[in-house]
């Protein structure tokens, strides 16, 4: 299974390493044409406004929307989660609009810019180690969205069909189970 990592900004090499640890083939994606050969795409963390602008400049908005419409899997982590949402609190426009949810940027405030915790994730046996960095939260989800994880009662991971989103950075640990979950999602959809 070939899984691309959108390489406009953010932690690309780390995601590739964990895709491979989970048994997939990782591809660094810089051009829209590369999407044709992929089974899934990860949109990494970084700064969502910057990544959104670069996506517009290089034609990735429409290309990823089409990719998702074809039933291919998309996983947005941290800033990537903001990019897949169809609503961003306090902003008139969203980016890709692939998942029916409202996200709140930088939701943990300045005092707790980054932290790590163990999280229970639906579909994964033991808790996973999650790293949060200026992380967003999911404020509200639509009917077709399955909540996969919460932290202090707030939603930090969710799935809608072949779209997966997480507030945290699963690529900054040695735990590849979130990536394995994404590969399973693709496998089950075949
Ligand atoms: N705070 C960033 C944003 O709003 C996301 C942070 C991250 O990806 N680590 O884009």
Reduced to 3 states, what is the DSSP secondary structure of residue 169? strand
Select the CATH number that applies to the domain covering 2-188 from these four: 1.10.1740.10, 2.40.30.20, 3.30.70.20, 3.40.50.880. Answer: 3.40.50.880
| Dist CA 190 CA 183 (whole Å) | 11
pTM of structure: 0.97
Low-confidence ranges of the chain (pLDDT < 70): 110-111
Q: What is the pLDDT of residue 152?
A: 92
- Consult the annotation and say whether 47 binds a ligand: yes
ipTM above 0.90, yes or no: yes
* The pLDDT value given to residue 113: 82
Structure tokens that stand for 151 in this block = 């932290």
Q: Is 70 annotated as contributing to ligand binding?
A: no
CA dist., res. 29 & res. 47, Å (int): 18
Q: Give the pLDDT confidence score for residue 65 in this predicted structure.
A: 98
Whole-number Å distance, alpha carbon 44 to ligand 1 midpoint, is 10
Alpha-helical (H) ranges within 37-143 are 48-57, 60-69, 79-84
Q: How far is the CA of 20 from the centre of ligand 1 (A)?
A: 25
Ligand 1, atom 5, residue with closest C-alpha: 79
Tokens linked to 43: 């949109």
Q: What is the pLDDT of residue 161?
A: 98
Q: What is the pLDDT of residue 190?
A: 84
In the prediction, which pLDDT does 110 show? Answer: 63
CA distance linking residue 158 with residue 146, whole number of Å: 6
């Amino acid at each position: 299974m070939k899984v691309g990592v959108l390489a406009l900004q953010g932690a690309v090499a780390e995601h590739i390493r964990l895709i491979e640890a989970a048994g997939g083939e990782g591809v660094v994606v810089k051009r829209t044409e590369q999407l044709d050969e992929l089974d899934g795409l990860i949109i990494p963390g970084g700064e969502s406004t910057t990544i959104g602008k670069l996506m517009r400049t290089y034609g990735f908005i429409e290309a990823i929307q089409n990719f998702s419409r074809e039933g291919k899997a998309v996983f947005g982590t941290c800033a990537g989660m903001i990019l897949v949402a169809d609503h961003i609190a306090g902003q008139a426009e969203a980016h890709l609009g692939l998942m029916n949810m409202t996200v709140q940027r930088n939701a943990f405030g300045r005092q707790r810019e980054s932290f790590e915790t163990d999280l229970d994730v639906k579909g994964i046996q033991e808790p996973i180690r999650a790293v949060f960095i200026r992380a967003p939260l999911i404020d509200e989800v639509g009917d077709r969205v399955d909540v996969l994880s919460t932290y202090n009662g707030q939603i930090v991971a969710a799935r809608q069909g072949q779209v997966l989103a997480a507030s945290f950075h699963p690529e900054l640990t040695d735990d590849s189970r979130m990536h394995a979950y994404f590969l399973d999602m693709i496998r089950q959809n075949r």
